[in-house]
Structure 1
Amino acid sequence: MPFSKLGLSEHLQKALLALSYAKPYPIQEAAIPVILTGKDVLGIAKTGSGKTASFALPMLERFMDSKTTSNRHVRGLILVPTRELAQQVEEVFKKLSDSLPKRIKTLAVFGGASINPQMINLQGTDILVATPGRLLDLIASKAVYLSEVEMLVLDEADKMLNLGFKEEMQKILQLLPAKRQNILFSATLSADIKNIKDIILHDPEVVEIEAEEESIDQISQIAYHVTPERKGPFLRYLIKQNNMQQVLVFVSSAQRADAVEEKLFLNGIKAAAFHGQKSQGARNEALKQFKLGKIRVLVATDLASRGIDIPFLPYVINYELPRSPKDYVHRIGRTGRADESGEAISLVTDEELHHFKIIQKKMGKRVTLVHTEEVNLHGF
């Protein structure tokens, strides 16, 4: 089904054509017509399935009318769990609204960046994309008001609840008008999502797109058995011996990311840490330098890494294993994209062996484990 059949105006159809949006993704095809009716919607679709345009297009369609609001009173509010997602959503809205006859201003606000420019930029904003904590800060400063919100979107609601935003979300909901359209998107339909659905949504239409299994067939996987004290030197050995020029290294915490980055740097390997405790500017710069090839290694935590998209990444290394097999597949899926080959490497200690066996069982693939006791790591 083409976009022209979804009930969108010619202005938005032209914008989609200019952006080379050929046809809608399944979630867009299912959700857009329902959202355009003004009904509440619960959308279940995985990250990266095209869901942002599913709510962006109907919201822009609705706000192309001549209605204006009081200054600093936004009409559309989108709550997201992370800074990276806030920026991505803002970018989609700006691209889609660029050629519309009426100017519709979208702004993303989030923590880790100076609040003053955000307060100034809120003037004349129609659609606000926000992380919950920063939004409450701006409300407390009287920089924005929610009493005229017509459409509320909770994007990646499952992640917001997992990150402990439940209390902040409840405070925000109390400030919204009772009459509004509510749209909730989540990758899963957990018990928490069902509870918040009952609180927020009124007689919603449920739109669920079955997630396809992430293909990892083109990714070459190998694991190395190391002792904890040899893990750092062995990482540096791998990078230098294989002349790796672009490698994404996953760790379990911000502190570990900083420590690994420092050791790599001290051993002559240009690296940058990428985690939630870094400022947004620092994260953007690290990612830019990594994509340009000016640094060889990006050391990232799982949460921060959700904003990383590099088409032809050759290497992913699990310095520490993730908690779940799904996260493991998500990590290694950062390489081997667009039919390109990729290599995923895991460094596994004695303590991690049992967990690594579980990951392999859930993944349905056996990964060769190479012992490294004989590898001379002197000088690494």
Structure 2
Amino acid sequence: MSFVSLGLSEPLLKAVAEQKYTNPYPIQEEAIPAILKGHDLLGIAKTGSGKTAGFVLPILERLQRRKTADNGRVSVLVLVPTRELAVQVAEVFQALGAYLPRKVKTLAVFGGVSINPQMIALRGVEIVVATPGRLLDLVASNALSLFNLDVLVLDEADKMLELGFADEMNQIFEMVPKKRQTLLFSATLKDSIQDIREHLLHNPIKIEIADELQNLDLIKQVAYRIDPERKGPLLRYLIREKKMRQVLVFVSSTRTADNLVVKLRKNGIQVEAIHGDKSQGARTETLRKFKAGTLPVMVATDLISRGIDIERLPYVVNYELPRSPKDYVHRIGRTGRAEAEGEAISLITPDDEHHFRIIQKKMRKRVELIETEDWSLSGY
């Protein structure tokens, strides 16, 4: 199947080609025609499965069928859990709408920055991509209204609930009109998602894409057994010996991230951290440089990883293991995307070994554990 057969107009197909999308992903094949027909939709799909373009393209197509914009009215609201994801989704709307005859204005709004510029920028906006808290601030300031909304999208709804946005989301649901199209995307179909589904969706089409566990073949996984005090030198050794460029290093806390950055910089490695304690401006700039390839190493926490979507990322390193096997799969799934190979490296201390065995069992994949006891790491 090609994008041409999905009912999209020529300007969108031109943008799709420019973005080097070849054939649609499975969720796009099913979601685009359903959304174009006005159906509510429940999509169960992991990050990186192509779902963003799966809802962006048909939304832009339907908006373009209007001859003029309804000035002063937000037509589409996309709710997301993190600032980075808000920026990323807005960028997809802008990139895929580049050749539309009637320009559709999109704006990402999120906390951590001044609200006033966002209030001013809302003039003439048809699509708002927002984190829940900042959206409510803007509504309370009479900067926008949700009463005339046509389309509501919940992207990564499961993560928003995990991060404690349930109360804010419920407030927003009370503000939107009952007659609308609702698109709900989640990585899992938990009871909380079922509750939202029952209250928000009307006769939805359900699309469920195979678990990421089935899509790990392009990722080379390797682990190194290492004593805790030698983890830093081993990471520096690997970065230098493998001549790594664009390596994403995962840690469990902001404190570890900052400490690791200090040690890597002392050893001449260009690196920056991205986490929740950084300002929004710093996070945006760090991510921009990393995506552009001008920042070789970025250290990140799991929360921030939700906004990181980089095609052909060659390396992911688990400096510390995540708490759950699901988060491990999500982390290493940052590489091996868009049918490109990638390498996922884990540094395993003796205390980590039992947990790592559980991860491998859940993943249904054995990872080679390489001994490093005899490795000389002096000078690193």
Q: What's the counterpart of residue 187 of structure 1?
A: 187
Q: What's the counterpart of residue 304 of structure 1?
A: 304
Q: What's the counterpart of residue 275 of structure 2?
A: 275
Q: Between 26-35 and 304-313, report the one with greater CA deviation.
A: 304-313
Q: What's the counterpart of residue 223 of structure 2?
A: 222
Whether the aligned pair in 2 keeps the contact of 1:216 and 1:329 (CA below 8 Å) is no
Which amino acid in structure 2 is aligned with residue 301 of structure 1?
Answer: T
Which amino acid in structure 2 is aligned with residue 265 of structure 1?
Answer: R
Q: What's the counterpart of residue 366 of structure 1?
A: 366
The separation in 1 between residues aligned to 2:201 and 2:342, in whole angstroms, is 42
Whether the aligned pair in 1 keeps the contact of 2:155 and 2:185 (CA below 8 Å) is yes
Shift of 1:263: 2.1
Q: Which of the pair has more CA radius of gyration? A: 1
Unaligned ranges ≥5, structure 1: none
Indicate the SS of the match to 2:298: strand
The separation in 2 between residues aligned to 1:51 and 1:217, in whole angstroms, is 20
The separation in 1 between residues aligned to 2:239 and 2:4, in whole angstroms, is 50
Indicate the SS of the match to 1:123: coil
The separation in 1 between residues aligned to 2:15 and 2:215, in whole angstroms, is 30
Q: What's the counterpart of residue 69 of structure 1?
A: 70
The separation in 2 between residues aligned to 1:20 and 1:231, in whole angstroms, is 39
TM-score scaled by length of structure 1: 0.88
Shift of 1:22: 4.3
Alignment of 1:91-130 (within 5 A): 91-130=91-130
Q: What are the Cα deviations for residues 183-236 of structure 1, in whole angstroms up to 9, with x where unaligned?
A: 111122111110111111122222223346122455151322313x44334433
Q: What's the counterpart of residue 168 of structure 1?
A: 168
Whether the aligned pair in 2 keeps the contact of 1:77 and 1:149 (CA below 8 Å) is yes
Distance 1:296 1:32, change over 3 A: closer
Alignment of 1:258-269 (within 5 A): 258-269=258-269
Which amino acid in structure 2 is aligned with residue 103 of structure 1?
Answer: K
The separation in 1 between residues aligned to 2:50 and 2:339, in whole angstroms, is 20
The separation in 1 between residues aligned to 2:129 and 2:252, in whole angstroms, is 28
The separation in 1 between residues aligned to 2:378 and 2:20, in whole angstroms, is 53
Q: Between 327-336 and 257-266, report the one with greater CA deviation.
A: 327-336
Q: What are the Cα deviations for residues 346-368 of structure 1, in whole angstroms up to 9, with x where unaligned?
A: 22223212101112223333334
Query: How many percent identity over aligned positions?
Result: 60
Indicate the SS of the match to 1:222: strand
Q: What's the counterpart of residue 290 of structure 2?
A: 290
Shift of 1:298: 1.2
Q: What's the counterpart of residue 59 of structure 1?
A: 59
Q: What are the Cα deviations for residues 32-74 of structure 1, in whole angstroms up to 9, with x where unaligned?
A: 2222232322122222222223222332233231354352x31
Indicate the SS of the match to 1:344: strand
Q: What's the counterpart of residue 252 of structure 1?
A: 252
Q: What's the counterpart of residue 178 of structure 1?
A: 178
The separation in 2 between residues aligned to 1:331 and 1:235, in whole angstroms, is 17
Q: What's the counterpart of residue 327 of structure 1?
A: 327
Which amino acid in structure 1 is aligned with residue 169 of structure 2?
Answer: M
The separation in 2 between residues aligned to 1:348 and 1:269, in whole angstroms, is 22
Q: Between 44-53 and 135-144, report the one with greater CA deviation.
A: 44-53
Q: What's the counterpart of residue 158 of structure 1?
A: 158
Q: 1:6 aligned to 2:2?
A: no
Which amino acid in structure 1 is aligned with residue 220 of structure 2?
Answer: I
Indicate the SS of the match to 2:215: coil
Whether the aligned pair in 2 keeps the contact of 1:225 and 1:372 (CA below 8 Å) is yes
The separation in 1 between residues aligned to 2:107 and 2:204, in whole angstroms, is 27
Q: What are the Cα deviations for residues 96-116 of structure 1, in whole angstroms up to 9, with x where unaligned?
A: 322222222111111233322
The separation in 2 between residues aligned to 1:243 and 1:139, in whole angstroms, is 49
Unaligned ranges ≥5, structure 2: none
Q: What's the counterpart of residue 38 of structure 1?
A: 38
Output the aligned Cα RMSD.
2.7
Which amino acid in structure 1 is aligned with residue 226 of structure 2?
Answer: H
Whether the aligned pair in 2 keeps the contact of 1:226 and 1:347 (CA below 8 Å) is no
The separation in 1 between residues aligned to 2:222 and 2:340, in whole angstroms, is 14
How many residues were matched structurally? Answer: 378
Indicate the SS of the match to 1:148: coil
The separation in 2 between residues aligned to 1:267 and 1:113, in whole angstroms, is 33
Shift of 1:332: 3.0
Q: 1:138 aligned to 2:138?
A: yes
Shift of 1:121: 0.7
Q: What are the Cα deviations for residues 314-345 of structure 1, in whole angstroms up to 9, with x where unaligned?
A: 43321110122233233334445567664433
The separation in 1 between residues aligned to 2:184 and 2:239, in whole angstroms, is 43
The separation in 1 between residues aligned to 2:379 and 2:17, in whole angstroms, is 56
Which amino acid in structure 2 is aligned with residue 79 of structure 1?
Answer: L
The separation in 2 between residues aligned to 1:313 and 1:20, in whole angstroms, is 16
Shift of 1:8: 3.7
Whether the aligned pair in 2 keeps the contact of 1:225 and 1:369 (CA below 8 Å) is no
Distance 1:356 1:127, change over 3 A: same
Whether the aligned pair in 1 keeps the contact of 2:218 and 2:341 (CA below 8 Å) is no
Q: What are the Cα deviations for residues 222-266 of structure 1, in whole angstroms up to 9, with x where unaligned?
A: 322313x44334433444555545432110122221121122223
Whether the aligned pair in 2 keeps the contact of 1:44 and 1:209 (CA below 8 Å) is yes
Distance 1:218 1:105, change over 3 A: closer
Distance 1:12 1:270, change over 3 A: closer
Indicate the SS of the match to 1:31: helix
Whether the aligned pair in 2 keeps the contact of 1:220 and 1:341 (CA below 8 Å) is no
